[in-house]
Structure 1
Amino acid sequence: MVVEELSTRMVAAGNEVDAYNRKGHHVSGKSFEGKSNGNLSEYKGIKILVIPTFRNGNLNAFIYSVLATFRALFGHYDCIHFHAEGPCAMLWLPHLCGIRTVATIHGLDWQRAKWGGFAVKYLRFGEKIAAKYADKIVVLSKNMKQYFMDEHGRKVEFIPNGISKPVKRGTNIISQKWGLQKDTYILFLARVVPEKGLHYLIDAYRELNTSLKLVIVGGSSHTDGYIMEIKRKAAEDRRIIITDFVQGEELEELYSNSYLYVLPSDVEGMPLSLLEAMSYGNCCVVSDIAECTEIIEDKAVSFKKSNVDDLRDKLQWLIDNVEIVEVFKKEASSFIIGKYNWDVIVRETLRLYAK
């Protein structure tokens, strides 16, 4: 999503962009591999270079980073832009060859609960390499900007993600598939991984006095054990619907018609799903981590991170006070689209390249 938005706009502005893509399974699981083409050679003017790698989930990201970086050395690029801590582990190589580099750190991936052992060490190594060798580092939150100064003594650039005005839709597909109508459900839409805090939401939801359904949308990411636990908990309440990964018009309908959107994360970089939810005019409820509260300011509701009781109380308050929900909905879209404009963000990124 982020790379697509940046790249297509850069091409439209007259730049040449190559994007490196890892060949392998769909991010949301094998069952979705037919829903997207991982072998494109061109997309909206962007040249796509597909890098083969192992099927082993524990090694393919590492092998991809190595092979993609070696391939990029021969691309005659003015700048190579690395995204996320893992790929940055190879950033030293183009630096050694005198090629300018930019690194975007979307979040502290090593903090995510799904990683352990070698993966954590590798991700932290990637962060250190970026801090030491990248010509410019981009972070998505002011909190992360302070982290790099405290941890690495490194000044970085704050350039957040953006959002575009969406197309709002009625309840055609979601009514037929799930029996959902406007304002009849609470929406969770994110990867089903422990750090997104879905288990807090289910525990809080089961204590609510409400007829609203809880709709859980998202695929797993190396977290099959966690998703099985979520399905077990959800099976105990008939009001909970798990849709798995969705996209296209079905996704747009889910965003367009929810009563509340909830993101109870313990760890975030800059959550695009929150920007999307607000752009659709949702009343949003988020944990009070800095990466979320920086985004919402006073245009959404926050609760104490990891606190099921506080989450339950905030949700019940919003369920019981429709007029408050309507105020948040009325203000959310124009606020978030004005604050995070893709055209401005692309100009800032190109300015960074030019330096």
Structure 2
Amino acid sequence: MRIAMIGTRGVPARYGGFETAVEEIGRRLAAAGHEVTVYCRGERHPEGTYLGMRLVHLPAVERKVAETLSHTSLSVAHAAGRRLTGRGPDAALVFNAANAPLLPVLRALRVPVATHVDGLEWKRTKWSGAGRRYYLAVERLAVRWSDALIADAIGIRDYYRDKFGAESVFIPYGAPILESPDTAKLAEAGYKPGEFHLVVARFEPENHVHLAIEGYRRSAARRPLVVVGSAPYADEYTARLRELAGDDPRITFLGGVWDQDLLDALYAGALTYVHGHSVGGTNPSLLRAMGAGASVLAYDVNFNREVLGEDAGRFFGDPASLAREIELAEADPGLAADRGREARKRASERYVWDDVARHYERLCEDLAARRLTRRTVRPKR
């Protein structure tokens, strides 16, 4: 099949969950013999292909409100042009419900399309007023114009079923399983295994980095807190985080860490990984931490409980409860390590990229064969 993957920053994956999913799924689909085209924006990979995937680089308006839709508009136009010449996709995978207004173009050209709807974007604080109303509207459009919806978490599947009466194909993300972390990388960065707490997140309020810092500062922790992350449109929130940290010598901001070996070593070497994400589905950062055997302290929402279960992590809802969990981990590092091993075991059994890619392959086969249509989504009348 010819498969187009549209709506993300593309590959190599350097930004977030969608990009990681495109890289892991796309490379496996290509290895299985399919022609995979990934539409990319941002930093240009020097080659026209990457891990067997064909790359198409197109520009975007570099503004928060227009970046995604402007790039996807060009991507859809490019795919449409190839379709008119007989070389277009047999199926399109569109990531992010925000791109739903462009789905009629693909449908007009008889390109069957599945939309990965992502999390509850309208709950993100960076969207307010018109932005929030837009995301609420495009959820309905994704239901109306997609041949299939993809939900990466049961909580997201249930949301679309309850709100729209719409069925989704449930396909979670996979987890990279790390058996032998590069401890030399950790030493180069100045850290020792089990001797620090870790936060990895984009600096957005719904990821609760502020709560992680507040909870840590309330604790009597002796081991430092390492904060990894940044955000392109969050200067005010970033300033708030640094203000919360104050002059506490125990807290270090590393910024964005693009060295993937170092990032893996940080996950694997942390005494605890504090995960504050609250509005997404199956979060790739959480899966990566689990795959590295990190002892997870997660914000208490249904998405995180779904991924961790009852034994592979601990949960917090406010600074006081997080402070207690941090102190308990320092008091009993062995128990924290046991939870990390349970987390790795759960990730290796439930979140396997090879299985994920096979689900996507079957989905694309069903799309190309017209076994999935808008009628299979079944929106409410």
Is TM-score (shorter-chain normalized) higher than 0.5? yes
> In the alignment, is the contact (CA less than 8 A) between 2:278 and 2:303 conserved in 1?
no
**Cα deviations by residue, 1:197-248 (Å, 9 ceiling, x for unpaired):** 0111111101111211100001214111101111222232110011011122
Q: Aligned to 1:241, which of 252, 256, 263? A: 252
C-alpha displacement of 1:40: 4.3
| 2:148 alignment partner AA | K
Mapped partners of 1:116, 1:234: distance in 2: 27
Q: Partner residue of 1:74? A: 81
Structure 2 portions without partners, runs of 5+: 1-19, 83-87, 367-381
Inter-CA distance 117–68: structure 2 relative to 1 (3 Å threshold): farther
Is it true that 1:46 corresponds to 2:57 in the alignment? no
Matches within 5 A, 1:171-186: 171-177=183-189, 179-186=190-197
CA distance in 2, matches of 1:296, 1:42: 36
Corresponding residue number in structure 2 for 1:322:
333
What stretches of structure 1 move > 4 A for 4+ residues in a row? Answer: none
CA shift, 1:314, in A, is 2.1
CA contact (8 A) 2:100 2:145 kept: no
Alignment partners' CA distance in 2, 1:267 and 1:57: 19
Give the superposition deviation at 1:39: 5.6
Q: 2:117 aligns with which of 96, 99, 105?
A: 105
- Residue-pair matches, total: 341
Letter of the structure 1 residue corresponding to residue 153 of structure 2: S
- The question of whether the paired residues in 2 share the 8 Å contact of 1:282 and 1:332 is answered with yes
Change (3 A) 1:40 1:341: same
Q: CA deviation at 1:342?
A: 1.0
Partner of 1:210: 221
Q: Superposed, which structure 2 residues align to 1:291-310 within 5 Å? A: 291-305=303-317, 307-310=318-321
| Preserved contact between residue 89 and residue 123 of structure 1 (Cα < 8 Å) | no
In 2: Cα distance, 1:6 partner to 1:334 partner = 22
Q: Kindly provide the amino acid, as one letter, of the partner of residue 309 in structure 1.
A: A
Task: Decide which of 350, 365, 381 is 1:354's aligned counterpart.
Answer: 365
TM-score normalized by the length of structure 2: 0.85
Equivalent pair of 2:106/2:113 in contact (CA under 8 Å): yes
Q: Deviations over 1:89-147 (max 9, x none)?
A: 31122123321000112211121111123322332232221111111111011111111
Distance 1:266 1:342 in 2: 23
Structure 1 position 2 matched with structure 2 position 21: yes
1:74 counterpart SS class: helix
Structure 1 counterpart SS, 2:81: coil
TM-score (norm 1): 0.91
Q: Which amino acid aligns with 1:341?
A: V
Whole-Å separation in 2 of the counterparts to 1:60 and 1:335: 36
Amino acid at match of 2:276: P
Query: Which moved further from structure 2: 159-168 or 10-19?
Result: 159-168
Structure with greater contact order relative to length (CA < 8 Å, sep ≥ 6): 2
The Cα shift of 1:192 comes to: 1.4
What is the CA–CA distance in structure 1 between the aligned matches of 2:143 and 2:295, rounded to whole Å? 37
Residue ranges of structure 1 left out of the alignment (5+ in a row):
25-35
| 1:61 to partner: Cα distance | 2.0
Q: Which amino acid in 2 is paired with 1:17?
A: V
Letter in 2 for 1:71: H
Q: Distance in 2 between matches of 1:352 and 1:118?
A: 34
1:110-125 pair list within 5 angstroms: 110-125=122-137
Deviation of 1:38 (Å): 4.7
Structure 1 segment 1-355 matched on structure 2, within 5 A: 1-22=20-41, 24=42, 37-38=44-45, 40-75=47-82, 76-166=88-178, 168-177=180-189, 179-246=190-257, 247-305=259-317, 307-355=318-366
**Aligned position for 1:33:** none
C-alpha separation between the residues in 1 aligned to 2:117 and 2:278? 18
Contact 2:116 2:150 (C-alpha < 8 Å) held by counterparts: yes
Structure 1 contact 171–180 (Cα < 8 Å) conserved: no
